[in-house]
């Protein structure tokens, strides 16, 4: 079994300092947190940015640039920029940050109901973002909220808008999306090509059990305050604690953890260049 690639999603779009003091908001906080997570065992950092004054999700290019350049200068982490729509739903707002040419970027291949909104990703938007990633040599992480999104990702590859081997992230346990069960994870895992890689993100209390299943089944995992702000019920977590716990569990289960450079090989990032 290949080494485990740990992605950390330290900020996301929702947690604020009022909810948890551990969430990094400013570019400087995000970079510092990512460095601590790298030391703890993370290989990939999934980047959202916030307005430093309001803490609201932001599409600002300069904020993404500050985080990306800060990490490139000080770490070996694989930078994965989010193209999610909470900070701005339009194509231009979501594509501009790709000019920074991160090694990876998220690509949600369909629309989904969030608890309080609709996350719209129409076919034309998906195609445009995929084409941008292809042009810039960025490997997309296909964000999968339900089974149909796998078919959409495979269609991108069939039409030459994404290079194989594909990489998938199964987002499970969000109200409105696929429930976080062992049966559903097995179904998602068995629905992707044999040469593809995959990771799993469990939302809220589903984070730890889905991560453990991902380790055992040979996939990879995502942790972080974007998905879950608690270490256990009633106890707030830091991003570093969530990384450290998964490293401990993986080693107890006999699975070694990948360094950022080992993760590059496992995820086939050479194929995007």
- Local mean pLDDT, 10-residue blocks, the chain (273 residues): 97 96 98 98 98 96 98 98 80 96 98 87 96 98 97 98 98 95 98 98 98 98 98 97 98 98 95 45
Structure tokens at 242: 């969530």
Domain limits of the chain? 6-272
CATH 3.20.20.70 is the classification of domain 6-272: yes
CB 169 within 8 A of CB 196: no
Parallel, antiparallel or unpaired: strands 230-232 and 235-236: antiparallel
Helix (H), strand (E) at residue 96: none
Rounded (10°) CA dihedral 110, 7, 199, 175: -50
**What pLDDT score was predicted for residue 137?**
97
CB 224 within 8 A of CB 44: no
CB atoms within 10 A of CB 40: 20
Structure tokens at 17: 């300092």
- Closest Cα partner for 68 from 29, 31, 24, 23? 31
Our separate counts of H helices and E strands in the chain read 9, 12
Record the pTM.
Answer: 0.96
Structure tokens at 193: 């090509």
**What pLDDT score was predicted for residue 272?**
45
């Amino acid at each position: 079994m290949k080494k485990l690639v740990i992605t950390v999603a330290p900020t996301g779009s929702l947690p604020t300092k009022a909810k948890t003091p551990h969430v990094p908001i400013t570019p400087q906080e995000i970079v510092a947190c990512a460095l601590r997570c790298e030391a703890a065992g993370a290989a990939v950092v999934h980047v959202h940015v916030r307005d430093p004054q309001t803490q609201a999700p932001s599409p600002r290019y300069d904020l993404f640039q500050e985080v990306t350049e800060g990490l490139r200068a000080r770490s070996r982490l694989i930078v994965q920029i989010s193209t999610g729509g909470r900070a701005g739903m339009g194509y231009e707002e979501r594509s501009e940050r790709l000019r920074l040419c991160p090694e990876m970027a998220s690509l949600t291949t369909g629309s989904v109901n969030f608890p309080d909104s609709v996350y719209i990703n129409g076919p034309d938007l998906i195609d445009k973002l995929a084409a941008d990633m292809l042009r810039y040599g960025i490997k997309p992480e296909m964000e999968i909220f339900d089974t149909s999104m796998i078919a959409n990702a495979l269609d991108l590859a069939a039409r030459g808008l994404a290079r194989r081997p594909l990489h998938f992230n199964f987002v499970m346990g969000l109200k409105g999306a696929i429930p976080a069960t062992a049966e559903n994870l097995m179904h998602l895992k068995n629905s992707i090509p044999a040469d593809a890689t995959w990771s799993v993100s469990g939302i809220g209390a589903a984070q730890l059990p889905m991560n453990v299943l991902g380790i055992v089944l040979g996939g990879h995992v995502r942790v972080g305050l974007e998905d879950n702000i608690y270490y256990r019920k009633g106890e707030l977590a830091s991003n570093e604690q969530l990384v450290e716990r998964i490293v401990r569990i993986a080693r107890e289960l006999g699975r070694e953890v990948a360094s950022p450079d080992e993760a590059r090989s496992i995820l086939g990032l050479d194929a995007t260049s």
